[in-house]
Amino acid sequence: MIVLIDLVLMLIDLTYSIMCAVIRTIFRPRLKSVDGELCLITGAGGGLGRLFALEFAREGAELVLWDCNTEANEHTARLVRELGCKVYTYTVDISKRESIYQTADRVRQEVGDVSMLVNNAGVVAGRRLLECPDELLERTLLVNCHALFWMTKAFLPQMKARNHGHIVTIASTLGLFSTACVEDYCASKFGAVGFHESLTHSLLTEDGVDGVKTTLICPYIINTGMFAGCQIREELKGLIPPLDPLYCVQQSMKAILADQQMICIPRVMYFAFLSRALLPWDANVASYRFMGGDKCMYSFIKTKEQQQQQVANGHVKSS
């Protein structure tokens, strides 16, 4: 009998959740304020990280910026200060667990408790698996996936103690479905998606932490240079063009400030995600072939090889 009552209650919950999601999609949900929050962003010296810093600064947050590239990170900090926002910079290589823990201790002592954590830093090897040095493959996993464990272990306890906080995971659509020649990246981003989901479930099953929120961001290719050269079939390029970084960050901000659990950018990517789950493998392969998605990374790898060759020849300055 109890199980039947629970079943009915679950069905009511389920219907209510679907209705809420539909309403949220049609009408704009109320966005929360992050004024005065202490927001830590990893990879703040680069494309999305820098834009996230500027968006959070405009919303009134205080910022802690982490990057392994000191110069790029300081550049972001200068832009943020021009907006009149308080900002603290730290040079950290987040592929190293001890560096994360040591720097997190410094942040707590020198600045305070972080209440918003944006795990944004990411890398990709950009080589074919059999030709890629092991260290490069390992680095992708350390930065894109393992660092999520150490960052969360370092900052979640204070969020839980105050029952207030937000952990944002910048994953990728390549954490929901995959393609050829990005084995390291897909493994790391599928890991990031799994990490985020399990962490969210853990917080939901614990008492007294309903004030700690999570958001998963899954963008398609963005024009930041990370996947420069990657392209689908020529005739379809215009239909799903690479995302403008600012658009991507603004859409992400809306999801974060609405405490939305997950967002795919652009929305059409939900179909790709669904088709991967629902269609037979061969049907997905056929649609990939039609779209040119099966070999879209070939041109990316070629571009990377050319860039590396130019660096080796001394034609361009290595970053």
Q: Are 76 and 49 in contact (CB under 8 A)?
A: yes
- 234, exposed or middle or buried, with CB in 10 Å at 0-12, 13-18, 19+? exposed
Q: C-beta of 161: minimal distance to ligand NAD in Å?
A: 27
Residues 259-288 binding ligand NAD (CB under 6 A) are none
Task: Give the residue from 251, 263, 193, 256 showing the smallest Cα distance to 61.
Answer: 256
Give the 3-state secondary structure of residue 212. Answer: strand
Look at residues 255, 284, 269, 136 and name the one whose alpha carbon lies nearest to residue 196: 255
Specify the stretch interacting with ligand NAD by CB under 6 A; choose among 37-45, 107-115, 193-201, 207-215. Answer: 37-45
Instruction: State in angstroms the smallest separation of the CB of 182 from ligand NAD.
Output: 11
Annotate each residue in 13-32 with x if it binds ligand NAD (CB under 6 A) or - if it does not, as one string.
--------------------
Query: Closest Cα to residue 319, out of 143, 123, 52?
Result: 123
Pairing of strands 38-42, 62-67: parallel
Residues 16, 90, 101, 185: which is the catalytic one?
185
Binds ligand NAD by CB under 6 A, chosen from 40, 53, 121, 264:
121
CB nearer ligand NAD, residue 117 or residue 209: 117
| Catalytic residue check, 185 | yes
Among 29, 31, 32, 69, binds ligand NAD (CB under 6 A): 69
Which residues, 6+ apart, have CB-to-CB distance to 104 below 8 Å? 151, 154, 155
x/- binding map, residues 220-259, to ligand NAD, per CB under 6 A?
-xx-x-xx--------------------------------
How would DSSP label each residue in 257-269? HTT-SEEEESTTH
89 binds ligand NAD (CB under 6 A): no
Q: Contact between 47 and ligand NAD (CB under 6 A)? A: yes
| Smallest separation (angstroms) from ligand NAD to the CB of 105 | 17
Rounded to a whole number of angstroms, the minimum distance from the CB of residue 202 to ligand NAD is: 22
Question: In 3D, which of 68, 236, 233 has the Cα closest to residue 142?
Answer: 68
Residue 72 found at the interface with ligand NAD (CB under 6 A): yes
**C-alpha to C-alpha distance for 149 and 171, rounded to whole angstroms:** 14
List the one residue from 143, 156, 176, 216 that touches ligand NAD (CB under 6 A). Answer: 143
Chosen residue from 77, 122, 199, 212 binding ligand NAD by CB under 6 A: 122
Site pattern 145..184 for ligand NAD (x: CB under 6 A): -------------------------x-x------------
Are residues 243 and 264 in contact, defined by beta-carbon separation less than 8 angstroms? Answer: no
Between 95 and 115, CB nearer to ligand NAD: 95
Closer Cβ to ligand NAD, 29 or 111, answer by number? 111
- CA 34, 40, 46, 48 dihedral sign is negative
CA 180/CA 192 separation, integer angstroms: 19
Told to check if 49 binds ligand NAD by CB under 6 A, we report: yes
CB of 53 or CB of 257, closer to ligand NAD: 53
Q: Where are the alpha helices (DSSP H) in the chain?
A: 2-26, 47-58, 70-82, 97-110, 134-141, 147-162, 183-205, 245-257, 269-278, 281-291, 298-312
Q: Which residues bind ligand NAD (CB under 6 A)?
A: 42-43, 45-49, 67-69, 72, 92-95, 120-123, 143, 170, 172, 219, 221-222, 224, 226-227
The residues that are catalytic are 185
